[in-house]
A and B are shown apart, each in its own frame.
Chain A
Amino acid sequence: MSKHVTIRGSGVAGLSVAAELTARGHPVSVVDPAMGPGKQACSWWAGGMLAPDCEGFLAEEPVVRLGRDAADWWQDKGAQVIRRGTIVVALQRDARELDTFARRTQNHRWLDREALAAAEPQLGGRFSRALLMTDEAHLDPRRTLLALKARLGDAGVAFLPEADDRGQVIDCRGLAARDTLPELRGVKGEMVILRARDVTLTRPVRLLHPRFPLYIVPRGDGVFMLGATQIESTDRSHATVRSVMELLNAAYALDPGFGEAELLEIGVDARPAFPDNLPRVCRVGDRVHVNGLFRHGFLLAPAMARMAADVLETNSKPELWHEDHA
């Protein structure tokens, strides 16, 4: 009764579609030359923030709404989701950025210096006020992807380097699918992973800055991810000195404890995005595509996976269906 589905790509989109379909009882195989998640996928370099309200500052409304269920979905799939919200701060000179951010976002409350110190002691001494985005969460992208692959393997999903497409094909190859999705473009992101033993942040922190916005995501054991630049470029070969310098500078301004951190990794990749920076489910020929997750891979992959599964099962046209693609 259930038809076989071949999923191309094993980044966050491919694995999420695989997980959703497996949960609905479809036999699935995942085809990727790398045979699983890894540095070839831009989700490997993601922040792992499940932060629909923060993203709503710039993103279109569907990102906020569809992202709301992401934390529950990931938890249901066995991911270790940490629900401590997000702290948003700005340097004294940019205090008005914080007011604008508050005006344009939802589900937050103001923290004064004492409340901030109670939440994140190291920030309390440095910032007189902050926003706590109360409903947000985060996860470790790499741990999550690897655990999900293992879980899918246990459920009988085969991971193959190459294979003839069996049954319905769902293409989740990200930027590589530009061969059939010409509107897709790359948006370069650079990030840094470091170990800062002196820094005790327990939740993602966003520093609003007119030129060098930054987020910091704790990964446990003193490891932090700093991200991320956003440059209109498909280059995924190298991070530039300037970008890394800006990220490190901003982190140092946020907490001087980062000054003595060990640099573990400098990462770079290009996010696949459509012109409206919203993801799409579409059909080209007999393939269904899930693509364009931009900077919202972990946030929107669950909703996109559900839409793709609905398309397959009922031939429905979900919200982010894109009809006239090619």
Chain B
Amino acid sequence: MPTFYGTEIASRMMLGTAQYPSPKVLADAFRRSGAGVATVSLRREASGGGNAGQQFWSLIQDLDVAILPNTAGCHSVREAVTTAQMARELFDTRWIKLEVIGHADTLQPDPFGLVEAARILTDEGFQVFPYCTEDLVLCDRLLEAGCEVLMPWGAPIGTGLGLNNIYGLRSLRAHFPDVPLVVDAGLGLPSQAAHAMELGYDAVLLNTAVAKAGDPAAMAEAFAGAVAAGAAGHAADPMPPRDMAAPSTPVLGKAFLE
């Protein structure tokens, strides 16, 4: 099971808490998926007074899972840092999922702002979970800045397009064998989550795919099954793909084709 900054989590599934039809459906989704981490946004919810979102956050805290506040909706280093500081106060945690959005339409991370904000927050004692692209050099810089977890996207937030750059994700895994890696964003189907786990990733984080499903709780359970299957498949050391078909039963007594 994944360990983030020394805390072991009992599940490889992490769930966002936005866009559900109701808090009750959200709670059902957590229960049926067994997700071990809940990400929570506060940029909009805290506007108009730091505690304005407290009633909803209390419902999340009642889920009894680790809380990972995020800086969703922040488009600059300063916004992200301020939001992280507010999150530390409100949730009493050093964890922060760092999002610095660089492009309003695609919600693509701003790699430069991300590294800068990660450095500032690490210096302030935060334990940063950066939402990043799968760029190897960027990820290297984030580690240098003090991050001990990486959260590359599968595809842009909310698109459900799955794993857009499998080569890049595989390459990250190969270069950083000891860093916890989480595919964050872009997953739409359970099979895509299974694929991420088969690549050797430690966990997946999703939100829209569950929250916007016709039956969010059922979809959360489906994802949990896929994540477990993918992780078990990876652990079992899969056979390499081959071009030559290999019969699984002996062909004694039959003529060779060549």
| In the complex, A233 has a CB within 8 A of chain B | yes
Q: How many A-B residue pairs have CB under 8 A?
A: 60
Measured CB to CB, the closest approach of chain B to A151, in angstroms, equals 34
- Which chain A residues border B49 with CB–CB below 8 Å? 235, 237
- Once the chains are docked, how many angstroms separate the CA of A273 from the CA of B55? 11
| In the complex, B31 has a CB within 8 A of chain A | no
Q: Which of A186, A188, A234, A275 contacts B59 (CB 8 A)?
A: A275
- Which chain A residues border B25 with CB–CB below 8 Å? 276
Residues of B within 8 A of A (CB): 21-25, 27, 44-49, 52-56, 59, 158, 214
Q: Which of A58, A104, A185, A240 contacts B56 (CB 8 A)?
A: A185
| Contact A235 to B52, CB < 8 A, known contacts A104-B214, A240-B47 | yes
Which of A60, A186, A237, A275 gathers the greatest number of chain B CB atoms within 10 Å?
A275
Measured CB to CB, the closest approach of chain B to A196, in angstroms, equals 26
Measured CB to CB, the closest approach of chain A to B52, in angstroms, equals 4
Which of A58, A188, A233 gathers the greatest number of chain B CB atoms within 10 Å?
A233
Q: 14 more A-B contacts (CB under 8 A) besides A58-B21, A188-B52, A243-B44?
A: A59-B21, A60-B21, A232-B56, A233-B44, A233-B47, A233-B48, A234-B54, A235-B47, A235-B48, A240-B48, A275-B22, A275-B59, A276-B25, A277-B23
- Which chain B residues border A237 with CB–CB below 8 Å? 48-49
Measured CB to CB, the closest approach of chain B to A238, in angstroms, equals 6
- Once the chains are docked, how many angstroms separate the CA of A232 from the CA of B52? 8
Q: Which of B24, B44, B55, B214 contacts A186 (CB 8 A)?
A: B55
| Contact A275 to B21, CB < 8 A, known contacts A210-B158, A211-B158, A233-B48 | no
| Chain A interface residue bracket vs B | 20 to 34
- Which chain B residues border A188 with CB–CB below 8 Å? 48, 52
- Which chain B residues border A253 with CB–CB below 8 Å? none
| In the complex, A231 has a CB within 8 A of chain B | yes
- Once the chains are docked, how many angstroms separate the CA of A186 from the CA of B25? 17
Measured CB to CB, the closest approach of chain B to A12, in angstroms, equals 20
- Once the chains are docked, how many angstroms separate the CA of A283 from the CA of B21? 26
Measured CB to CB, the closest approach of chain A to B5, in angstroms, equals 27
Contact call B27/A240, Cβ cutoff below 8 A: no
What does the 1/0 interface line of A150-186 toward B look like (CB < 8 Å)?
Answer: 0000000000000000000000000000000000011
Complex: chain A residue closest to B58, CB-CB:
A185
Measured CB to CB, the closest approach of chain B to A103, in angstroms, equals 8
- Which chain B residues border A275 with CB–CB below 8 Å? 22-24, 27, 59
- Beta-carbon contacts under 8 Å, A215-267 to B: 231-235, 237-238, 240, 242-243
